[in-house]
Amino acid sequence: MKLEVISLVDNLIGGNIPAELENISTLKQLNLSYNRFSAGNIPPEIGNLTDLDVLWFTDCNLIGPIPNSLGRLSKLMDLDLAINKLTGSIPSSISELTNVVQIELYNNSLTSELPAVGWLKMTALRLIDISMNRFTGTVPEELCSLQLESLHFYENEFESKLPKIISNSSNLYELRLFGNRFSVAC
């Protein structure tokens, strides 16, 4: 089998996301967004699809944590798990996604602080949207030192000073931080 793309966006697919997708080792793009899956976890076996460069599970009724196994998707460039009911923290294994350009985790129930280290390995990252969750703590300086173009952290529970280094982000054209308790480091 040479199947490289599965896009079943906006159908009436129910049940759970099948773990057996891991058997399609040639898969490069998997988009199951906007379907009516039963409430369920992201199958950890998705992390075995090591040729994936696009993974979109937007609005798929997903619950539970983001599996550590997604860190094995070293070719991934676009990760979208937005508009679900994911809980817990962002796993530190996310820093292994060294080719990722875009991460969208907005509108979930993710909590905790962001991983403090590992962001510097993600040199391709340009857009990160973790808005409408319940993240706390500080924004990692490592994350702010990347060449980000778009940073969306609005409607969380951050209570810190923004790292000064964010003012050096020459590519940053979109910064959305409203609905937090940020202060500016002077």
Query: Which pair of tokens denotes residue 158?
Result: 């951050």
Distances (CA, A) of 174 to 26, 108, 147, 149, 177: 35, 21, 12, 6, 10
Question: Helix, strand, or coil here: 49?
Answer: coil
Q: Considering the entire predicted model, what is its pTM?
A: 0.95
Going by their DSSP bridges, the two strands 63-64 and 5-7 should be labelled as: unpaired
Measured between alpha carbons, how far is 47 from 29 in angstroms, rounded to an integer? Answer: 13
Range of the domain at 12: 5-184
CATH code, domain carrying 27: 3.80.10.10
Tally of domains in the chain: 1
Query: Which pLDDT tens digit goes with each residue over 79-109?
Result: 999 999 999 999 999 999 999 999 999 999 9
Q: Which backbone phi and psi does 74 adopt, to 5 degrees?
A: -65, -20
The predicted-structure confidence for 1-27, as pLDDT tens digits, reads as follows 799 999 999 999 999 999 999 999 999
